[in-house]
Amino acid sequence: MSELPIRDELRGVEPYGAPQLDVPVCLNVNENPFPPSEQLVADAARAVADAVRGLNRYPDREATTLRERLAGYLERESGVTLETGQVWAANGSNEIMLQILQAFGGPGRTALSFAPTYSMYPEYARDTSTAWVTARRDDDFGIDEDTALKAVAEHQPTVVFVASPNNPTGTAVPLGLVSALHDATDGVVVIDEAYAEFRRDGVPSAIGLLATHPRLIVTRTMSKAFAFAGARLGYAAASRQIVDVLRVVRLPYHLSAVTQAVAVVALEHAAELQERVAQLRDERDALARWLREQGLRAAESDANFVLFGRFEDRHAVWQALLDHGVLIRETGPDGWLRVSVGTPEETTAFKVALADVLKEQR
Ligand SMILES: *Cc1c(COP(=O)(O)O)cnc(C)c1O
């Protein structure tokens, strides 16, 4: 058989993703450890039944009800009023990133980000034939404004990605930096706020800048704080013009009627999540403190995970934890590991396992 005519940049490439292993304690992909409430389950079941009764028809291509509800949620969460036409939704915020690159990237164009950061961005750049460049974050994983503006001037990106709070470091950037980046580029600036609900008090969301920054896109997701990763629902807030461009590149009827229905139900239950999110934030702070008490470094985090280290051989530590039934993530700069905040029981299991592993190592 002759060789398949695969694009050169895809030849020999393995599908990327965190290992999905069957382990007692999974703290590797920053999920919310608390499942949806039984009330939400019951309401979603009814909404799904209704949606299924209409599955002979295509879904609402514009997902209007859902986008209205998302705008309402953002208003309650961030105090910013948005029109429905300024909100966009897709199958996870990852699909939104891809749509942004389909619309604003492409051959001969460049996307810029700040490393270490989310490992999926370069994949979407590759898939859309967009050149991918990174500038470095500083030693405490913040972004130095001079470095950022120099990178913009040098690379002339049409898309700039800043995850804030950043994955895998947990670092949020100040709004001054977002504003400076926006004003320094003719491209779109994407602030990926997948973990926004976990930010500490006083850390603002970039949603508040939308009115004055026309090329700003803020992406959010229901995968983390909302405890809805399996539903695949991400969304973006931006100018109406930007949303209209994303509507051009989306696949027809990209959001199934079932997805739209369950997402609307989850939004109706948003208030009950807040307590859980507050608990996870407290657990995160306690976990970071505990890691430091063990003589380790733990990065400041505004997300639901902590990056910690440094280890001479991080893979050995990761593997030893796995042998203790605890799966975390081997990611970030060399020597560091990332652990998601779990239930109190899961966090305890992690601490017991890590204490053991550290003892064995000493
Ligand atoms: C988890 C995560 C997302 C969410 O992706 P979904 O496709 O919405 O599940 C987005 N950005 C970052 C940086 C993440 O870590």
- The enclosing domain of 26 has a CATH number of 3.90.1150.10
Measured distance CA(280)–CA(33) in Å, rounded: 9
Strand partners, 190: 161, 217
Which pLDDT belongs to residue 28?
Answer: 96
Residue reference for tokens 């939400």: 40
Residues near 10 by Cβ (< 8 Å), separated by ≥ 6?
A: 126
Q: Establish whether residue 28 lines the binding site of ligand 1, counting it when its CB lies within 6 angstroms of any ligand atom.
A: no
Label the pairing between strands 305-309 and 337-340.
antiparallel
- For residue 5, tell me if it sits in a domain: no
Which pLDDT belongs to residue 1?
Answer: 59
- For residue 9, tell me if it sits in a domain: no
Atom of ligand 1 nearest to the CA of 30: 1
Which pLDDT belongs to residue 11?
Answer: 93
Same domain for 307 and 331, yes or no, is: yes
Q: Establish whether residue 73 lines the binding site of ligand 1, counting it when its CB lies within 6 angstroms of any ligand atom.
A: no
Same domain for 352 and 297, yes or no, is: yes
Which pLDDT belongs to residue 16?
Answer: 86
Same domain for 44 and 160, yes or no, is: yes
Q: Establish whether residue 193 lines the binding site of ligand 1, counting it when its CB lies within 6 angstroms of any ligand atom.
A: no
Predicted TM-score (pTM) above 0.95: yes
Q: Establish whether residue 169 lines the binding site of ligand 1, counting it when its CB lies within 6 angstroms of any ligand atom.
A: no
Q: How far is the CA of 302 from the centre of ligand 1 (A)?
A: 15
Label the pairing between strands 297-298 and 234-237.
unpaired
Q: Which range marks the domain in which residue 351 is found?
A: 16-36+271-361
Q: Establish whether residue 94 lines the binding site of ligand 1, counting it when its CB lies within 6 angstroms of any ligand atom.
A: yes
Which pLDDT belongs to residue 99?
Answer: 98
Q: How far is the CA of 138 from the centre of ligand 1 (A)?
A: 23
In the listed set 249, 268, 287, which residue is the last one of a domain according to the structure? 268
Same domain for 325 and 337, yes or no, is: yes
Q: Establish whether residue 170 lines the binding site of ligand 1, counting it when its CB lies within 6 angstroms of any ligand atom.
A: no
- For residue 11, tell me if it sits in a domain: no
Q: Establish whether residue 340 lines the binding site of ligand 1, counting it when its CB lies within 6 angstroms of any ligand atom.
A: no
Kindly state the percentage of the chain with pLDDT values over 70: 99
- Residue with the smallest CA separation from ligand 1 atom 1 is 194
Q: Establish whether residue 331 lines the binding site of ligand 1, counting it when its CB lies within 6 angstroms of any ligand atom.
A: no
- For residue 1, tell me if it sits in a domain: no
**3-class DSSP assignment, residue 161:** strand
Q: What mean pLDDT is reported for the chain?
A: 96
Specify whether the CB–CB gap between 104 and 158 falls below 8 A: yes
Same domain for 107 and 85, yes or no, is: yes
Measured distance CA(191)–CA(40) in Å, rounded: 30
Q: Establish whether residue 163 lines the binding site of ligand 1, counting it when its CB lies within 6 angstroms of any ligand atom.
A: yes
Rounded to 10°, the helix 344-361/314-323 angle is: 120
Q: How far is the CA of 12 from the centre of ligand 1 (A)?
A: 25
pLDDT, tens digit, 9 for 90 and up, residues 31-84: 999 999 999 999 999 999 999 999 999 999 999 999 999 999 999 999 999 999
Q: How far is the CA of 17 from the centre of ligand 1 (A)?
A: 12
Same domain for 54 and 121, yes or no, is: yes
In the listed set 268, 300, 319, which residue is the last one of a domain according to the structure? 268
Same domain for 148 and 186, yes or no, is: yes
Q: Establish whether residue 116 lines the binding site of ligand 1, counting it when its CB lies within 6 angstroms of any ligand atom.
A: no
Number of domains in the chain: 2
Measured distance CA(304)–CA(284) in Å, rounded: 6
- Residue with the smallest CA separation from ligand 1 atom 2 is 194
Label the pairing between strands 297-298 and 305-309.
antiparallel
Same domain for 345 and 239, yes or no, is: no
Q: Establish whether residue 113 lines the binding site of ligand 1, counting it when its CB lies within 6 angstroms of any ligand atom.
A: no
Atom of ligand 1 nearest to the CA of 168: 15
In the listed set 213, 233, 268, which residue is the last one of a domain according to the structure? 268
Same domain for 82 and 231, yes or no, is: yes
Same domain for 32 and 42, yes or no, is: no
Low-confidence ranges of the chain (pLDDT < 50): none
Atom of ligand 1 nearest to the CA of 93: 8
Q: How far is the CA of 27 from the centre of ligand 1 (A)?
A: 15
Same domain for 257 and 302, yes or no, is: no
Q: Establish whether residue 225 lines the binding site of ligand 1, counting it when its CB lies within 6 angstroms of any ligand atom.
A: no
- For residue 299, tell me if it sits in a domain: yes
Which pLDDT belongs to residue 269?
Answer: 95
- For residue 126, tell me if it sits in a domain: yes
Q: Establish whether residue 168 lines the binding site of ligand 1, counting it when its CB lies within 6 angstroms of any ligand atom.
A: no
- For residue 10, tell me if it sits in a domain: no
- For residue 28, tell me if it sits in a domain: yes
Rounded to 10°, the helix 270-293/344-361 angle is: 20
Atom of ligand 1 nearest to the CA of 192: 11
Q: Establish whether residue 92 lines the binding site of ligand 1, counting it when its CB lies within 6 angstroms of any ligand atom.
A: yes
- Residue with the smallest CA separation from ligand 1 atom 3 is 194
Same domain for 77 and 217, yes or no, is: yes
